[in-house]
């Protein structure tokens, strides 16, 4: 699982961090979590473990230069972008499933040459109802904590939308080979059974 970068408030120190909820959520699913530091120089060695899933967590913004956008955003750490690119590349090479949550959802789309739309409205600290052809997701309520978004016009060609909101913001996608799942919301913050069912079916390849 990747981690966000945070900074100490009273002095200059960048830190690797993860919210408690991620650990609790995935341990409830029966997984032992290995955290990947953003400053690690030994990413490939983590894949010597028996890896079932690579999780790209939320937090921080992606450098807009990675998708040819000149907007200036705060909370950008190129080191994290580099680490997550390595994680995705290695997971693909080793045929390991990938789950992207919020920022991770965005990063997967950028990795496959999609784009993001900035400064959207009514998606920070809100709840939304999903519209989906997937019975697990359709009509479910999810949380929302994002200023950037994937529109259908910006979705990478290798990805297929699974769910959208009423204002046509993409909330979930899956790759064409079913090995990559992305969700815009934070399942670890809402502890709902449909999230666990979705992830379990994804891991079993039955979505």
Helix 103-111, helix 78-93: angle, nearest 10: 70
Distance CA 31, CA 87 (A): 18
Contact 1, 51 (CB under 8 A): no
Specify which residues 99 forms β-bridges with: 55, 181
Contact 80, 43 (CB under 8 A): no
CATH code of the domain in which 63 resides = 3.40.50.880
CA 188 from centroid of its chain's CA atoms: 12
Query: Phi, psi at residue 109, to the nearest 5°?
Result: -60, -40
Contacts of residue 88, Cβ cutoff 8 Å, sequence gap at least 6: 54, 56, 98, 107, 108, 111
Q: So what's the pLDDT on residue 161?
A: 97
Q: So what's the pLDDT on residue 113?
A: 97
SS3 138: coil
**What domain count does the chain have?**
1
Q: What is the pTM of this model?
A: 0.96
For residues 57 and 166, the model is more confident at 57
Query: DSSP letter at 184?
Result: S
Tell me what percent of the residues of the chain surpass a pLDDT of 70. 100
Write down the mean pLDDT value for the chain.
94
Q: So what's the pLDDT on residue 69?
A: 93
Distance CA 169, CA 146 (A): 11
Domain residues for the domain of 179 are: 4-204
Residues 106-157 have pLDDT tens digits of 999 999 999 999 978 877 788 999 999 999 999 999 999 988 999 999 999 9
24-57 b/e with 16+ CB inside 10 Å = b?
ebbeeeebeeebbbbeeeeeeebeeeeeebbbbb
Pairing of strands 4-7, 97-101: unpaired
Residues 4-50 have pLDDT tens digits of 999 988 878 999 999 999 999 999 999 999 999 999 999 999 999 99
Q: So what's the pLDDT on residue 176?
A: 94
Is the torsion defined by CA of 87, 92, 97, 100 positive or negative? Answer: positive
Contacts of residue 51, Cβ cutoff 8 Å, sequence gap at least 6: 91, 94, 96
């Amino acid at each position: 699982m990747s981690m966000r970068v945070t900074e100490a408030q009273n002095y200059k120190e960048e830190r690797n961090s993860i919210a408690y909820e991620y650990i609790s959520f995935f341990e409830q699913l029966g997984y032992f979590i290995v955290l990947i530091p953003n400053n690690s120089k030994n990413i490939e060695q983590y894949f010597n473990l028996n890896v079932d899933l690579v999780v790209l967590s939320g937090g921080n913004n992606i450098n807009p230069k990675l998708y040819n956008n000149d907007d200036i955003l705060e909370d950008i750490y190129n080191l994290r972008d580099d680490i997550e690119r390595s994680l995705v590349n290695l997971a693909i090479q080793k045929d390991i499933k990938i789950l992207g949550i919020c920022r991770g959802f965005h990063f997967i789309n950028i990795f496959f040459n999609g784009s993001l739309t900035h400064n959207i409205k009514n998606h920070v600290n809100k709840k939304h109802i999903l519209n989906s052809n997937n019975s697990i997701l359709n009509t479910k309520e999810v949380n929302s904590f994002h200023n950037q978004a994937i529109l259908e016009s910006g979705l990478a060609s290798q990805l297929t939308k699974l769910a959208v909101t009423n204002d046509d913001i993409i909330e979930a996608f899956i790759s064409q080979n079913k090995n990559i799942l992305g969700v815009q919301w934070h399942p670890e913050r809402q502890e709902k059974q449909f999230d666990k069912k979705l992830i379990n079916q994804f891991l079993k390849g039955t979505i």
